[in-house]
Structure 1
Amino acid sequence: MWSRTRKKPKKYRTRRWEVGGHRGHLAYPATRPATTRLALLDLPRLPFFSRGRLRDFSSSSSSSTRLDSPPTEIFLPPPRRDIARAMGSKDGSGAASSGGGGGFFSSIAAGVRSLGTAVHKSVNGLVGYEGLEVINPDGGTEDAEAEALRGRWKQEDRDSYWKMMHKYIGADVTSLVTLPVIIFEPMTMLQKMAELMEYCELLDKADECEDPYMRMAYASAWAVSVYFAYQRTWKPFNPILGETYEMVNHQGISFIAEQVSHHPPMGAAHCENAHFTYDITSKLKTKFLGNSLEVYPLGRTRVSLKKSGVKLELVPPLTKVNNLIFGRTWVDSPGEMVLTNLTTGDKVVLLFQPCGWFGAGRYEVDGYVYSAAEEPKIMITGKWNQSMSCQPCDQEGDPLPGTELKEIWRVAPTPPNDKYQYTHFAHKINSFDTAPKKLLASDSRLRPDRYALEKGDMSKSGSEKSRLEEQQRAEKRTREAKGEQFTPRWFNRTDEIAPTPWGELEVYEYNGKYTEHRAAIDSSSVADDDTDVTSIEFNPWQYSSSSSQ
């Protein structure tokens, strides 16, 4: 039985700390009474307080409060010492020194109480938010309020947009709201699906690996790697029904994605090279919470490794976009990722740590490769924005003697000061260098609104976005008048309804026609014509009359 309540194999947990240039690990019992465990979840993670301090938090009618900086000395106990002593004095009997009469915990408690009062006074009127200042989740030293003021939103835009959006609190806004292009990036959701292929060489390694547990470690590192790209806070364009995205010239893959449904928005993709095949049906589900948005990855992702014949299924955690309208926008993905070997029953369970106070725990990922008998075999740890490492472990989850952590993935260097925080691979996705010969006219690269935004023409991007959306509505009216249904070109809808943690999913499967289409073009004598692909008119339309409107 796989669940969060299952007893953890490790007897003791550790958390990294850094104070004054010194680093170490804090060890504490892994098993605690439920009441203690719940209480600890509500407390800031103290060893990380050295990363930053609480900004002055005030409203127009309240005085500012400041949390004292952490003590210069933190006692780090040996393993098997209770966490209460870890936070106490050096003899384990008193409060930690804080430079004040009340001790470190007293200082924290007072600061938190004052913070709660300030928050209550600041947000008692939702429309204004004038008194709400910004806390930097990264725990940096820069002025977070000034950072927010340098953002993409002007104050009048924030106010008007909030007045429009507050009525949608608690609703799924996936297709309810028309959003301004000012919050978009020049990429569609279909292209975003292709970003998972940046480090697909990890799947190649998994296919070549003879060790079944290391195979799972490589595959899970591949699944984690895309989250570095997912931390971007810009919104991708929703694809038009029938829109496609093709990609070649990367690690020998052939990638095709298609928008197969408009209401609800659904995309399907297929990717293949000499080592693996990848198939996904994706239907995002969202919940608008006022100044944040929860995104539930309602989908099914499967990978087949060709050499071993192993089939893998991935269930990712949800994603939360914080400070959506007010404050500095940032993304977190708290929860569990589960990668299951459908052939053998082995699993990888990774916990994405939620971002705590001052960025504590943000990016951290920890977990194990488990055998079908639920025994831990390999420990996996790292940060989804930096690297992942693994190490063989015993049945208690402790590293095996004589073994060392092995790095299995690291983020590639990124372009400095990129406007949209794109990686080099993200730029390749937008580039025609990764487009195949005879690119489909329905390809996302050809969208005029996306292309205009990429060139910095926001006004044209907005007008083209509105025009495409109206054409899509015209298509729907024509389809309904004819009594017809939209039929995807490269994927077929099946009768299968797949259960997911966030609801049921209609499954689309790849029909193989794109492989035949691409083989015919590659063998054609006209495959090497000199047509300028940028001159091709974007045309995902089912009816020819729509493309001329």
Structure 2
Amino acid sequence: MGSKDQAGGAASSGGGFFSSFAAGVRSWGTAVHKSVNGLLGYEGLEVINPDGGTDDAEEEALRGRWKQEDRDSYWKMMHKYIGSDVTSLVTLPVIIFEPMTMLQKMAELMEYCELLDKADESEDPCMRMAYASAWAVSVYFAYQRTWKPFNPILGETYEMVNHQGITFLAEQVSHHPPMGVAHCENEHFTYDITSKLKTKFLGNSLEVYPVGRTRVTLKKSGVVLDLVPPPTKVNNLIFGRTWVDSPGEMVMTNLTTGDKAVLYFQPCGWFGAGRYEVDGYVYSAEEEPKIMITGKWNTFMSCQPCDQEGEPIPGTELKEIWRIAPTPQNDKYQYTHFAHKINSFDTAPKKLLPSDSRLRPDRYALEKGDMSKSGAEKSRLEEQQRAEKRTREAKGEQFTPRWFNLTDVVAPTPWGELEIYEYNGKYTEHRAAIDGSSVGDETDVTSIKFNPWQYGNSSSS
């Protein structure tokens, strides 16, 4: 595509001096890389500072959230998994966790859902795609956090209301492999996703492949949009400053008309070169570029009409269509204001389901800063989940999600096939009955005991 070609051309241009300088930097970097990891006793582990600066490489290698003894112990435990999918293989320490679950992380895509409202209201089909693709990019600011969310318990849910008129529901429908499903709706759109992550552990980094299917239906026009995001790489998991990058193409396709938005996420280069940059085009069904899109996934996105060569049309202006909202300063987990709303009960509906992520005792203890209790509760929940599985197998039963149904559809993705779940509508009926009730709910939601269990507390015995 055009943006990738332009990026490649920029990288290869410059001639003799730049090429010599780049080669020198690479040689110097290789030498530092080998000396630092050789000093630590771990060969082949990448240590870089993506934000540049003049930090000493050895000092950078020793920086991070780990104490020396914790890091060494964790490395001894993890090195045998190099090359493996560790999505659900390993019990991880809470020191690397944030007080949020993967179901809540799925809900973060709704922070700037007003962009989907604008897409629905737009009469221009190309601008419709520009707004929708900017919405898809907007979540990457939140996804750059380096803390790991909790894996949801099978049957766990997350509900969210009181944001842009939406009702959001997610449910964990599989434990091995981990799969979450979500449905969201307001007056302008419906959003449905079946999500299954596939990982590859590389020693000091982790590649994450989003094996999932995302569908957005815009209600006014009736068009259906399909999203394929790029993979993500978490760098310096154990040694050095942890950072996240998502190099590659994001493709959003209008399945109704054939229009398409293709955006290229630039990989982070030496000293942070190219990090955050996103460029691409909205193409017509005839594959002609119509709108140029450019920006940075951590700051803003803009667009401008273009000609068939991908060049801006004279007399038109670059229009900003999304900008990041102000964020809290020095937040421990780099949370946005919206992330804090996701964790709060302010966005919880009346009579919250007892399976809701907010109620998890390990998540709540970590949020309150009690890491010891969080670790103990996490172990207890994981053991109870294993007990549930033993009970289910003894009864010869299968887990059945409450709010979503498994379909016969198996969808291809760039990283493997995916079984598709669909929203069954029962939650809409459940919520309507509660919201229509004249009886007030005076229950203190923080006192509700977390209960996603299929067999109740007997499974823990």
TM-score band by shorter chain is over 0.9
Q: Against the structure 1 CA distance between its residues 258 and 126, is the aligned structure 2 distance closer, same or farther, given a 3 Å change threshold?
A: farther
**Which runs of structure 2 are paired with 1:173-192 in the superposition (5 Å)?**
173-192=86-105
Decide which of 434, 442, 447 is 1:535's aligned counterpart: 447
Post-superposition offset of 1:530? 1.3
- Give 1:138 deviation, angstroms: 1.1
Following superposition, the deviation at residue 140 of structure 1 comes to: 3.3
Q: 1:128, 1:159 within 8 Å by CA — same for their partners in 2?
A: no
In the alignment, is the contact (CA less than 8 A) between 2:206 and 2:235 conserved in 1?
yes
Structure 1's 483 and 145: CA in aligned 2 closer, same or farther, altered over 3 A?
A: same
| Aligned match of 2:316 | 403
Change (3 A) 1:93 1:291: closer
* CA deviation profile, 1:27-72 (whole Å, cap 9, x unmatched): xxxxxxxxxxxxxxxxxxxxxxxxxxxxxxxxxxxxxxxxxxxxxx
Q: How does 1:250-269 map to 2 (within 5 A)?
A: 250-269=163-182
Q: Is the 1:96–1:103 Cα contact (8 Å) retained in structure 2?
A: no
Aligned residue pairs: how many? 460
Matched residue, 1:48? none
Q: CA deviation at 1:148?
A: 5.9
Deviation for aligned residue 1:108: 2.2
Where relative contact order (Cα < 8 A, 6+ residues apart) is larger, the structure is 2
Cα pair 2:281 2:291 within 8 Å, conserved: yes
Answer yes or no: is the 8 Å Cα contact 2:207–2:231 preserved in 1. Answer: yes
Identity within the alignment, % = 90
C-alpha displacement of 1:163? 1.0
8 Å CA contact retained: 1:415, 1:424? yes
- The 8 Å contact of residues 185 and 234 in structure 1, kept in 2 or not, is answered as yes
- In the alignment, is the contact (CA less than 8 A) between 1:96 and 1:104 conserved in 2? no
Contact 1:310 1:343 in 2 (8 A): yes
Matched, 1:510 2:423: yes
Note if contact 2:34-2:43 (Cα within 8 Å) is conserved in structure 1.
Answer: no
Contact 2:362 2:375 (8 Å CA) reproduced? yes
The whole-number CA distance in structure 1 between the counterparts of 2:4 and 2:173 is 63
Q: Quick check: 144-153 or 248-257, which moved more?
A: 144-153
The answer to which of 150-159 and 377-386 deviates more is 150-159
When residues 151 and 169 of structure 1 are mapped into structure 2, their CA distance, relative to the original with a 3 A threshold, is same
TM-score (norm 1): 0.79
Q: Please state how far the C-alpha of 1:142 moved relative to its aligned partner.
A: 5.4
CA 1:91–1:174 in 2, change beyond 3 Å: closer, same or farther? closer
Closer, same or farther in 2 for the Cα pair 1:396/1:125, shift >3 Å?
same
Q: Quick check: 1:196–1:223 contact (8 Å CA) kept in 2?
A: yes
Alpha-carbon spacing, 1:459–1:392, altered in 2? closer, same or farther (3 Å): same
CA pair 94-238 structure 1, distance change in 2 beyond 3 A: closer
Contact (CA 8 Å) 2:153, 2:452: kept in 1 or not? yes
| Corresponding residue for residue 89 of structure 1 | 3
Q: Supply the distance in 2 between the matched residues of 1:94 and 1:300 (Cα, whole angstroms).
A: 29
Task: Map 1:114-153; keep pairs closer than 5 Å.
Answer: 114-115=27-28, 118-119=31-32, 121-122=34-35, 128-129=41-42, 134-141=47-54, 146=59, 149=62, 151-153=64-66
Structure 2 residues without counterparts, runs of 5 or longer: none
2:347 aligned residue (424, 430, 434): 434
1:489-543 Cα distance to aligned partner (Å, 9 max, x none): 00000010000000000000000000000000001122xx211000000000000
1:117 offset after TM fit, Å?
5.5
Shift of 1:545: 3.2
Q: Name the CA shift for 1:246/1:130 in 2 (closer, same or farther; >3 Å).
A: same
Per residue, is there more helix in 1 or in 2? 2
* Residues in 2 aligned to 1:451 and 1:136: alpha-carbon distance in whole angstroms: 32
CA displacement at 1:432 relative to structure 2: 0.1
CA distance in 2, matches of 1:525, 1:89: 56
Secondary structure of 1:118's counterpart equals helix
| Aligned twin of 1:35 | none
Contact 1:122 1:132 in 2 (8 A): no
Shift of 1:160: 1.1
Maintained 8 Å contact 1:474/1:546: no
Q: Provide Cα deviations, 1:412-468, integer angstroms capped at 9, x if missing partner.
A: 000000000000000000000000000000000000000000000000000000000
| CA offset digits 1:141-184 (Å, max 9, x no partner) | 55675566553101111111111111111110000011000000
Q: With the length of structure 2 as denominator, give the TM-score of the two structures.
A: 0.93
Tell whether the 8 Å contact from 2:46 to 2:236 is kept in structure 1 after alignment: no
Q: Matches of 1:245 and 1:264 in 2, distance apart?
A: 19
Inter-CA distance 110–444: structure 2 relative to 1 (3 Å threshold): closer
Asked whether the 8 Å contact 1:122–1:130 carries over to 2, the reply is no
For the 8 Å contact 1:497–1:506, the answer to whether it is kept is: yes
CA drift of 1:135 comes to 2.9
Note the C-alpha offset of 1:259: 0.1
Q: 1:145 and 1:131, CA in 2 relative to 1: closer, same or farther beyond 3 A?
A: farther
139-148 or 214-223: bigger deviation: 139-148
Shift of 1:134: 4.5
Change (3 A) 1:88 1:370: closer
1:472 Cα deviation from its structure 2 partner = 0.1
Q: Using a 3 Å threshold, how does the CA distance of structure 1 residues 120 and 256 change in structure 2: closer, same or farther? A: closer
Structure 1 residues 96 and 206, CA gap change in structure 2 (3 angstroms): closer
Q: Could you list the per-position Cα deviations for residues 235-282 of structure 1 after superposition, in whole angstroms to 9, with x for gaps in the alignment?
A: 000000000000000000000000000010000000000000000000
Change (3 A) 1:505 1:544: same
Runs of 4+ in 1 over 6 A off after TM superposition: 87-98, 100-103, 130-133
Take 2:121 and 2:286, find their aligned partners in 1: how far apart are those partners? 24
Q: Relative to structure 1, is the Cα distance of residues 401 and 434 closer, same or farther in structure 2, using a 3 angstrom cutoff?
A: same
Contact 1:201 1:251 in 2 (8 A): yes
Residues 90 and 367 (structure 1 numbering): CA distance in 2 closer, same or farther, change over 3 Å? closer
Cα distance, 1:117–1:195 mapped onto 2, change above 3 Å: closer
How far off is 1:92 after superposition? Answer: 21
Whether the 8 Å contact between 1:88 and 1:95 is mirrored in structure 2 is no
Deviation at residue 360 of structure 1 after TM alignment: 0.7
Question: What's the CA shift for 1:194?
Answer: 0.0
Specify the SS of the correspondent of 1:282.
Answer: strand
CA contact (8 A) 2:259 2:284 kept: yes
Conservation of the 8 A alpha-carbon contact between 2:388 and 2:460: no
CA contact (8 A) 2:45 2:203 kept: no
The DSSP-based 3-state class of the residue aligned with 1:298 is strand
Residues 183-237 of structure 1, C-alpha deviations (whole Å, 9 max, x = no match) = 0000000000000000000000000000000000000000000000000000000
Kept after mapping to 1: 8 A contact 2:409/2:419: yes
Residue 116 of structure 1 and its aligned partner are, at CA, apart by 5.7
Match status 1:112 vs 2:28: no
CA distance in 2, matches of 1:428, 1:94: 41
Taking the aligned partners of 1:110 and 1:144, their CA distance within structure 2 comes to 19
Q: Tell me by how many angstroms 1:370 deviates.
A: 0.2
- The structural deviation recorded for 1:377 is 0.3
Question: Structure 2 vs 1, CA of residues 132 and 92 (structure 1 numbering), >3 Å: closer, same or farther?
Answer: closer
CA contact (8 A) 2:63 2:240 kept: no
Return 274-283 or 156-165, whichever deviates more.
156-165
Offset of residue 107 of structure 1: 5.9
| Structure 1 residue 112, shift from structure 2 partner | 3.6
How far does residue 125 in structure 1 lie from its aligned partner after superposition?
5.5
Answer yes or no: is the 8 Å Cα contact 1:127–1:159 preserved in 2. Answer: no
Deviation at 1:546, TM superposition (A): 3.9
Root-mean-square deviation over aligned CA pairs = 4.3
8 A Cα contact 1:198 1:425, kept in partner? yes
CA 1:111–1:272 in structure 2 vs 1: closer, same or farther (change >3 Å)? same
Q: What is the CA-CA distance between 1:128 and the residue it aligns to?
A: 2.0
Q: Is the 8 A contact 1:287 1:295 kept in 2?
A: yes
2: CA distance between counterparts of 1:434 and 1:93? 42
Gaps of 5+ in 1: 1-86
